[in-house]
Structure formats: C-alpha cells, structure tokens
C-alpha cells in the first residue's frame, strides 16, 4: 500500500541547477580569497628578509638604488606625523558634521544636501584630493611641499568616513537617553557632549581607526603633496617628507633587487600597521557590543 | 527654571553654529576641489596647441605643448569596465555566499575576510602586481591569444604581462570588496516572508534566491557596481605600476598598450613643468567630474529606495 502525499520529489534538472549554483557561489568565495592569500603570503615571504633593526632605525640618506642596507625610519616618521595631522583636521570636522546631521539637521534641505555630498565625497579619487591640495595650497597659496600638505589631502579622504561612522553610531543612541537628559533641564548641547557622544564613543573610535587605516596606505595624494626625500625630516610643516606608502612605491620602481627587497619590507610594515588598526577597531566594537555586555 | 533656559540659549547657539559650520565646510571643500582644479588647469589649456578632449598624445612639457585626454580617458574607461565585468559576478557570488549559503555562525567572520581585501593598501597591490601577477599572466595571456585570438580583444602580435588585462584584473580585485559588501547588505534585507513563502511552495534554494532575493536586490547590486566603477576609475598607484604607459587607443588588451588618467598623473608628475602640472590638473578635473557623475548616479539609486538606507554606508 503506497501512501500518496501531495509533495512530489524535486525533479533532477531543478536539483542539478540548485547544486550548480551552490558550487558557483562557493567557487566565487574561493576566487575572492585567493588574491588575499597570495598577497599576504608574498608580502610576508619577501618582506621578512629585510625586516631588521636597520630598516627601522635608518633612513635612505646616501644609499643609492644599488646599495644594500638602508631603511624606512624617515618614511615611518613621516607617515605617523601626516596621519596624526590629518586626523586632527578631519576628526573634529567629521564629528561635528555628524552631530549636525543627527541632532540639528532635522531632515531639512541643508542636511539632505550635506548627507548626499558626504556620500559623493567618499568616491573622490585619492589622486584628485592630492591634485586639489597641489593646486590650492602649493600652487595658488605658494606653500612649500610638506608633510602638512599631505595631511590636508589625507584629511579630505578621511572626513566622509568619519562622518558616516559617527552618524551611524549617534543614531543608535536611544531617544530615551536624550529625553531623560532634557527632562533634567540639561541644555541640548550639554546633552550631546555629556550624554550622546560618550554613549557612542566606542563606535566613533572604531570608525576613526578604520578611517586612519584607510588613509595610512594612500600613496597618490602624498606623491603630489609631500614630494620625496631620502633624509629624515621631523618637521611636517617644512620641506619634503616621506611616507611609508610612498617609500614602497619609490623602491618598487627602482630596477635593483635590493631596492625591491626594501619595497617588500615596507609593504609588510604597512600591512602590519593597517591590519593592526583594523583589528583593534574590530576588537573595540566586539568588546563593547550590546550582545556581549548582557 | 529661568536660569536653565538662559544657559540653554547661551551654549546652544555656538554649538549649533559650529556643527552646522562643519557641515558647510564639507560642502565648501567639494566646491573648492572643482574650483581650484579649474583655476590651475586653465592656463595650461590655453597654452595647449591641440584640442584637449580629442588629442591622443601627451607632451605638455614640450616648448610647444601638445596634449589631450583622448587616449587616457579611453584607457580609464576600458580598464574600469573590464574590471567591473570581472568583479561583479564574483562579488555577487560572494555576497550570496555570505548572506544565504555560508553557515550562520561563520558568515560574519567570512565577510570580514573579504573586507580585508579592501584593507590592503593600493601600493601593495601594485608591488604584488609587478612582482607576481605580471610575469604570472604571461602564460594565460598567450593561451587566450593562441586559442581565442579570433576575438578582437584577445588578438595582437606581441603578448606581454604588463597589459590592460593584468591592470584590469588588479582593479577587479580592489573593487570586489565594496561591491560584495553592499550587495551582501542588500541581499540580507530581502523580505524574509517572501523567501519563506518561496521555500514553502517547494522552491529550491536557487529558485528562492532567483524569485525573492535577486529581484529585490537588483537596484542595490547595480549601484554597488557603479560605486565600484568609480573606485576603479580613480585608482592610481597600483595601475601606475602596471600600465605600460602608452598613449594609444587599442582594444588589444593583451598587448603592450594601456594607460589611465590617474596613472598618468602619478607617473608624469615628477618631471612636469608648470604647463605640465597644469595639464595633469586638467586631466584630474576630467577624472573628478566623471567619478562625480558615476557616484552621484549610484547614490541616487540607493537613496531612492528606503529599504536600502542601511546598506548605503
């Protein structure tokens, strides 16, 4: 006696199609991971050779393309100063813009315009921000090539990222917190400074660190604004500086093995810095996530 | 009571002013970018002895400057479109994998792995491209030329590693994470009820995705692809290292041809004279306007649909 249920088995062709798509989707993911693994593997393999004390304590002064040795001390100093200065410019502007969009904008025309152009600004090519600083700061205002000019270019790339990250975090702050503060007679600006921003702080820090990680690896804007030097220049306001991404670029285009070896080690250092920033940023999110607090 | 009302009006004004001002500064920066690029590009454009939009050669440093955006714009568009063609199907697959195929517990960690692709700096991709991908691509390129040479794209006599195809491949890798991330967010927001309804009617997983997820996600994927296109066109250092930097219009993507606006700026800035810098700024202005249009179109598509509000970031 056979039991006839209403459910027919799935036909072979439909099942085959389903299987095929599943295989393709898994394959797509594998395809995406291959270049990541390849890049990381080659950077570690080729970069570890020159990952020594000299690399981190010496500049490239008096070291030609054919000479072994030399280091990226001047480039690391430059990158740290440029990124710090860029953050000092971009974070206040980005933070305040996000506060405007969430707390004061109230969906008006100005806030919608700003919000739209923040999105568009994330798409400004990095080389264009470098050209802008070159045209405005160096050619029109007559300022010298300097680390600060590079920081200006980087800050333009940072701003929209900081705005978006902060905005998202501010919107997550519950209305009730604000209303409780108002009910106690606290003015709006003090509510924002003392209640809203501290509540959103871990998320904002994460966003800022991701923005820093993004610009720390930018080469094109630096190429046009800080110029290039082989010597140590600790003053970001005067004279050409170096940046770690720029250092990698400059050593890559040299035709000698020792230079390319330096480029790989520079790339390894750069990736370590960027990945570390990313990792710490994610850890802060994870550590402060509501799911874990409970 | 009165005291607190007084303090509110005193402190709130400046703070409101500062935050509004910051927003306006952002708008002003965008306007200033366009303005100052125009200001510095004009003198060079006036010194030009040819038509900027159609001329192919690029000799702005000569005593009689002659330069045009033609070949550079062509290379920018062709390499970006090729990159998009390679990256979009893979990115959609990755997005589906993370939103609908991967085990729930692993999904976010695997998504993070794909995001890491975006964290690798451009110059590192450039170094990797020159040192590894360029020699590696010689074999596959010869294969394509041998067996598919009858397709115009793969035709040509001299086959090299430093080609349009290799540059496009690097671009594809670099724009894959952004397309995948936005598509993933959009796919995750597909109405659960419709997905379950499809499954309840006996649909296989693929049929459910085809009928409930993809139609919902299509505009999101399109705008994600356009954002990727904008990224690819503006990408500089990686392709500056890979492009052979010629000024020639050729569809032979395996041959020693190819250049882009951004790559030309990076490669040409060092020896540029005053007119040369102006010419590079003029080309940057063109790049700025193209990416602006592409990005605005993409953002417009996302903004039009409220469901995507979260995916836009």
pLDDT in tens, B219-270: 889 989 999 999 999 999 999 999 988 898 999 999 999 999 999 999 999 8
pLDDT tens column, B13-27: 888 899 999 999 999
Across A109-125, average pLDDT: 91
Q: Which residues of B touch A119 (CB under 8 A)?
A: 295, 299, 312
**Number of domains forming the structure of chain B:** 1
Range of the domain at B292: 69-308
Say yes or no to pLDDT of B98 above 70. yes
pLDDT band for A283, please (50, 70, 90 cuts): confident
pLDDT tens column, B278-295: 999 999 999 999 999 999
Is A109 among the domain residues?
yes
List the single best residue of B8, B11, B26 to mutate versus A (max A Cβ within 10 A): B26
pLDDT tens column, B159-196: 899 999 999 999 999 999 999 999 998 999 889 999 99
Q: Please provide the average confidence, as pLDDT, over all residues in chain A.
A: 90
Is B47 among the domain residues?
no
Say yes or no to pLDDT of A158 above 70. yes
Say yes or no to pLDDT of A293 above 70. no
The domain spanning residue A274 has which CATH number? Answer: 1.10.3720.10
Q: Does A182 touch chain B (CB under 8 A)?
A: no
Interface touch A116/B121, C-beta < 8 Å: no
Residue numbers of B between 4 and 23 with CB closer than 8 Å to A: 4, 7-8, 11-12, 14-16, 18-23
Model ipTM over 0.85: yes
Is A12 among the domain residues?
no
Is A136 among the domain residues?
yes
**pLDDT (0 to 100) of residue A105:** 85
Is A146 among the domain residues?
yes
Q: Does B37 touch chain A (CB under 8 A)?
A: yes
Is B288 among the domain residues?
yes
The domain spanning residue B146 has which CATH number? Answer: 1.10.3720.10
Is A274 among the domain residues?
yes
pLDDT tens column, B149-162: 999 899 888 889 99
Is A88 among the domain residues?
yes
Q: Which residues of B touch A93 (CB under 8 A)?
A: 22, 25-26
pLDDT tens column, A11-39: 889 999 999 999 999 999 999 999 999 99
Across A94-122, average pLDDT: 91
Across B90-116, average pLDDT: 90
Percent of chain B past pLDDT 70, that is, above it, reads: 94
Please report the DSSP string for A86-147 in residue order.
HHHHHHHHHHHHHHIIIII-TT-HHHHHHHHHHHHHHTS-HHHHHHHHIIIIIIIS-PPS-H
Nearest to B119 among A14, A103, A274 (CB): A274
Percent of chain A past pLDDT 70, that is, above it, reads: 95
pLDDT band for B104, please (50, 70, 90 cuts): confident
Q: Does B200 touch chain A (CB under 8 A)?
A: no
Is A42 among the domain residues?
no
Is B27 among the domain residues?
no
**pLDDT (0 to 100) of residue B79:** 96
Is A163 among the domain residues?
yes
In degrees, rounded to 5, the angle at the alpha carbon of residue A150 between the alpha carbons of residues A146 and A153 is 145
pLDDT tens column, A212-233: 998 999 999 999 999 888 899 9
**pLDDT (0 to 100) of residue A3:** 58
Range of the domain at A181: 54-293
Interface touch B23/A101, C-beta < 8 Å: yes
Q: Which residues of B touch A160 (CB under 8 A)?
A: 26
Is B186 among the domain residues?
yes
Closest chain B C-alpha to A159 CA, distance in angstroms: 8
Closest chain B C-alpha to A140 CA, distance in angstroms: 8
Token pair for B132: 């590894």
pLDDT band for A63, please (50, 70, 90 cuts): confident
**Number of domains forming the structure of chain A:** 1
């Amino acid at each position: 006696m056979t039991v006839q249920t209403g459910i027919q088995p799935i036909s072979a062709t439909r099942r085959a199609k389903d299987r095929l798509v599943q295989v393709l989707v898994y394959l797509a993911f594998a395809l995406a991971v291959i270049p990541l693994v390849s890049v990381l593997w080659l950077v570690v393999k080729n970069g570890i050779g020159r990952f020594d004390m000299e690399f981190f304590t010496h500049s490239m002064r008096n070291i030609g393309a054919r000479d072994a040795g030399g280091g990226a001390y001047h480039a690391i100093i430059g990158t740290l100063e440029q990124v710090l200065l860029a953050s000092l410019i971009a974070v206040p502007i980005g933070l305040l813009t996000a506060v405007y969009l969430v707390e004061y904008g109230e969906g008006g025309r100005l806030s919608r315009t700003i919000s739209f152009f923040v999105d568009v600004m994330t798409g400004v090519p990095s080389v264009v921000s470098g050209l802008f600083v070159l045209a405005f700061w160096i050619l029109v205002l007559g300022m010298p090539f300097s680390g600060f000019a590079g920081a200006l270019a980087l800050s333009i790339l940072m701003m929209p990222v900081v705005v978006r990250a902060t905005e998202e975090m501010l919107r997550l702050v519950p209305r009730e917190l604000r209303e409780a503060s108002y009910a106690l007679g606290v003015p709006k600006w003090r509510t924002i400074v003392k209640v809203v921003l501290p509540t959103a702080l871990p998320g904002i820090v994460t966003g800022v660190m991701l923005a820093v990680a993004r610009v720390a690896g930018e080469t094109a804007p630096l190429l046009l604004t800080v110029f290039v030097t082989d010597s140590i220049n600790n003053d970001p306001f005067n004279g050409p500086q170096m940046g770690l991404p720029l250092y990698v670029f400059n050593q890559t285009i040299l035709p000698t093995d020792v230079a390319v070896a330096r480029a790989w080690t520079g790339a390894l250092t750069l990736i370590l810095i960027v990945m570390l920033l990313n990792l710490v940023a994610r850890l802060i999110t994870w550590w402060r996530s509501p799911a874990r607090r409970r | 009571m009165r005291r607190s009302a007084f303090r509110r009006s005193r402190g709130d004004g400046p703070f409101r002013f500062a935050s509004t001002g910051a927003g306006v500064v952002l708008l002003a920066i965008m306007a200033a970018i366009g303005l100052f690029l125009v200001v510095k590009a004009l003198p060079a454009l006036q010194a030009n002895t040819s038509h900027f939009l159609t001329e192919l050669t690029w000799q702005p440093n000569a005593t009689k400057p002659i330069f045009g955006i033609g070949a550079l714009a062509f290379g920018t568009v062709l390499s970006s479109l090729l990159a998009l063609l390679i990256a979009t199907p893979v990115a959609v697959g990755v997005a589906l994998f993370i939103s609908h195929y991967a085990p729930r517990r692993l999904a976010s960690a695997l998504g993070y792995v794909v995001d890491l692709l975006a964290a690798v700096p451009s110059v590192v991709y450039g170094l990797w491209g020159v040192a590894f991908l360029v020699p590696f691509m010689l074999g596959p390129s010869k294969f394509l030329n041998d067996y598919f040479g009858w397709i115009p794209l793969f035709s040509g006599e001299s086959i090299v590693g430093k080609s349009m195809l290799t540059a496009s491949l690097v671009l594809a890798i670099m724009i894959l994470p952004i397309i995948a991330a936005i598509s993933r967010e959009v796919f995750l927001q597909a109405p659960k009820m419709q997905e379950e309804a499809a499954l309840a009617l006996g649909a296989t997983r693929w049929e459910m995705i085809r009928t409930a997820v993809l139609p919902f996600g299509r505009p999101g994927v399109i705008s994600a692809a356009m954002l990727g296109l904008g990224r690819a066109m503006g990408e500089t250092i990686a392709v500056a290292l890979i492009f052979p930097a010629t000024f020639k219009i050729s569809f032979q993507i395996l041959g020693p041809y190819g250049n882009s606006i951004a790559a030309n700026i990076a490669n040409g800035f060092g020896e540029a004279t005053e007119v040369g810098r102006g010419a590079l700024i003029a080309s940057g202005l063109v790049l700025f306007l193209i990416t602006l249009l592409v990005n605005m179109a993409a953002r417009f598509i996302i903004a039009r649909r409220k469901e995507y509000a979260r995916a836009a970031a």
